Structures are given as C-alpha cells and as structure tokens.
Amino acid sequence: MSMDEQELVSRLQEGDETAFAQIMNTYKDRIVNYLFQFTGDYQKAVELSQETFLRVYFRADKYKPIAPFSSWIYAIASNLAKTEMKKVRKLAQVSLEDVANDLDAGTYSLDSTDSGLIKNLREALNSLHPRYRIPVVLKDMEGFSQEEIAQILKRPVGTVKARISRGRGYLKKKLEKALSENSFAKTSQEKAHERA
Amino acid sequence: MKELNPLEKMQRVQAPLGFERRVLAELAVRKEKNVRRRRTWRFSLAGATAIVLVGFITLNVFVLKKQTPAVISGLDKRVSLPQARESMPSKMFQRQAPADTIPIIEPVDYSGEVRSTSQEPRTIYILEQVTEAANTKIIY
C-alpha cells in the first residue's frame, strides 16, 4: 500500500468523505468490472459496487493494515456478490449457471463487434461455477497474486491454486470445443457454397 | 515463457457516469438513517429500563406484602405438632410436645458469650488419675 493510500485510509477511518471519494475514484472501475465478471449483469454489478463502497465507508474502522487495502475492498465485493447470488438462487429456484448466463438481464449492452473468441470466452466464463470463476477473474483479469486471492477469498493458497488451474482448464476445454464447432460450421458452409 | 492469457482481451466495463455522486447521496441518506436508528435505540432502551423499574417497584409495594418470620415459617397458623410432623422431616420432632405451640421470637445477642482467649493467661490443666482401682470410674 502506497503512502498516499495509507493516509487516505486513515483519513477515511476518521470519517473523511473527501478521502472516501478519492478511494472510490481509484477503485470504482475495477470493482464494477470485477462484479460484472462475477454476476454477468451490469446493472447488478453497479448496485453491488455502490453497496461495496458504502460498506467500505461504514466499516473502515474494521480494516487492519495487515493486508492490502485493495484485497479488503475486493473481499467485501466478493462477499456481497456471493450473498446476492445465493439470494437470487433461493428466490428463483434456478441453477447458478442459468442466472449467470442471463446476460440480457443487465442494461449494459455487449459490444456487437466482439470477435468470436471474446464471445466464446464470455460464454465460457459465465458458464464457469463461481467457485472457479472468481479466482480466475481475480488472477487473470485483475492481476492479483495467489496469496492476495487467498486473502480475499479467505481460503488456503493451495485451494486457490487448484481452483485457478481447474478454472483455466475448463475455459480451455470450452474454447477448444467452441472452436471446433465453429470450424465445422465454416467448412460445411463452404461445402454448401461449392455445391450451389 | 509468458503464458497466453486470453482473459486479458476480455471486454472491461466501467462505472457509469455519476456513480460517485449516487454513492455519496446514498451515504448521506444512510448516515441520517443511522443517527435516527441510534436515537430510537437509545430511547427504547431507556423506556424498557424504566418500565422494568416501575414494574419491580409496583410488585414490591402493592402486590407482595411484607411478611413476618412467623408467617414465612408457617407458625402463625397454629399448626399442631402431629400435623407439622407429617409435613416436616421426622428427625426435627423427637420429643413429645404440647398440641399447641406458642411461637416466641426474641433477639439473642451472642456477643457477650464469645470471649477472646488471647488476653487471658494461659492455663495448663494436668489430668491425673486419683484412684488405684482398675474397674472404678476415673474421676478428674
């Protein structure tokens, strides 16, 4: 944690709203993006991010500088998102995969110029169980170390390593499958063209 | 060799415009709510304590009347000994007593009975046998 951030955090712990605004400005995009990758729903991600920052403000006195401040914020966001997913699952009585796949539920419009690879990646990521998705996103998108992820998720480093490895393996398999299906569709289309 | 990470290419989303403003507005609302909640809690706690106190005083003054030791022990009912013997442990009534018992309760001051031995000179008693007879009682 940098000196500036340390000072901001101590000011935040005293209830300084300016420090809070600065912290929010630093982390808002990262947290919204992380929660979007987690929930697959932009609107939900924004709501959860707001709640995350409010908790950061009200519980700032509980933060102890033994871990990086970013890990602490991500831990709050992760817990909120997990609770939200559980609530959704309880209310709708549908599987977590179905909820995660419901990308249209958000107001954020996906870029229509997404290449095939990114589209496939998003689908694969959303079909991944949160248990594996969170560590993979934290590692490969947010750039956290395995130790930091272990702190955020409150799991042993070994468990985090295994989950990252399994998650990546699952993503790889999904992508390969999608790629082979695409190439098969392409060749059959070309053949049909030739016949015509 | 650096591992290829396709997730780096994934589309990253950003916080919407006015995100901070919304959070700060919500923060002000929550702060106000917290203050109100704390005030409500304080008043409710004080009210509950007052109710318990009033209840305790009412119970003691109006409902539970003062009882003398004789009332508490049941002696005011002039219970006959055989009846009392039935209701109480048998060892307490070894001797035959008159049918009616008049309870006499008087304060006893035992402070005069207890003496401090430390101020008196020490007395040594030498016990000696005064008779030669073997089968007679020893008199000291």
DSSP of chain A, one letter per residue?
A: --HHHHHHHHHHHTT-HHHHHHHHHHHHHHHHHHHHHHHS-HHHHHHHHHHHHHHHHHTGGG--TTS-HHHHHHHHHHHHHHHHHHHHHHHH---HHHHHH-GGGSSSPPPTT--HHHHHHHHHHHHS-HHHHHHHHHHHTS---HHHHHHHHT--HHHHHHHHHHHHHHHHHHHHHHHHHHHHHHHHHHHHHHH-
Which of A31, A46, A122 lies at the smallest CB-CB distance from B10? A122
Q: Which amino acid, A147?
A: E
3-state SS assignment for residue B36: helix
Per-residue model confidence (pLDDT) at position A102: 45
Which of A36, A46, A57 lies at the smallest CB-CB distance from B27? A57
Which chain A residue shows the shortest CA-CA distance from B10?
A118
Q: How far apart are CA A89 and CA A83, in angstroms?
A: 10
Chain A residues in contact with B26 (beta carbon < 8 A): 50, 54
Whether residue A129 contacts residue A188, with contact meaning beta carbons closer than 8 Å, is answered with no
Q: How far apart are CA A148 and CA A135, in angstroms?
A: 10
Q: How far apart are CA A28 and CA A51, in angstroms?
A: 12
Average pLDDT, chain A: 81
Q: What is the pLDDT of residues A29-56, one digit of tens each?
A: 999 999 998 888 899 999 999 999 999 9
**One-letter-per-residue 3-state SS of A91-114:** HHCCCHHHHHHCHHHCCCCCCCCC
Q: How far apart are CA A109 and CA A42, in angstroms?
A: 9
Q: With a CB-CB cutoff of 8 Å, which residues 26-85 of chain B face chain A?
A: 26-27, 30, 34
Whether residue A29 contacts residue A62, with contact meaning beta carbons closer than 8 Å, is answered with no
pLDDT in tens, chain B (140 residues): 455 566 777 778 888 999 999 999 999 999 999 999 999 999 999 999 999 999 999 888 877 766 777 776 766 665 555 665 566 555 555 555 556 677 777 777 777 776 666 666 777 777 776 666 666 565 66
Which of the residue ranges A143-147, A188-192, B45-49, B76-80 would you say has the lowest mean pLDDT? Answer: B76-80
A4 falls in which pLDDT band (50, 70, 90)?
confident
Per-residue model confidence (pLDDT) at position A84: 87
| Cα–Cα distance list, A177 to A1, A135, A170 (Å) | 42, 23, 11
DSSP B55: H
pLDDT at A116 over 60: yes
Q: How far apart are CA A177 and CA B1, in angstroms?
A: 26
Which of the residue ranges A117-121, A125-129, A147-151, B16-20 would you say has the lowest mean pLDDT? Answer: A117-121
pLDDT at A163 over 90: yes
Q: Which of B5, B26, B27, B38 to mutate to test the interface with A (most CBs of A within 10 A)?
A: B27
Residue-wise burial string across B33-71, b where 16 or more C-beta atoms lie within 10 A, e elsewhere: eeeeeeeeeeeeeeeeeeeeeeeeeeeeeeeeeeeeeee
Q: Is B7 on the interface with A (CB under 8 A)?
A: yes
CB-based contact A45 B5, cutoff 8 Å: no
**Residue that has been written with the tokens 């031995």 in this structure:** B117
Quote the tokens at residue A22. 């600065």
Of the candidates B72, B35, B7, the residue with the CA atom closest to the CA atom of residue A133: B7
Chain B residues in contact with A53 (beta carbon < 8 A): 23
> Does the global pTM surpass 0.95?
no
* A40 min Cα distance to partner chain B (Å): 11
Which of B7, B14, B22 lies at the smallest CB-CB distance from A50? B22
Q: Which amino acid, A116?
A: G
**Residue that has been written with the tokens 């998102």 in this structure:** A81
**Residue that has been written with the tokens 């004789």 in this structure:** B70
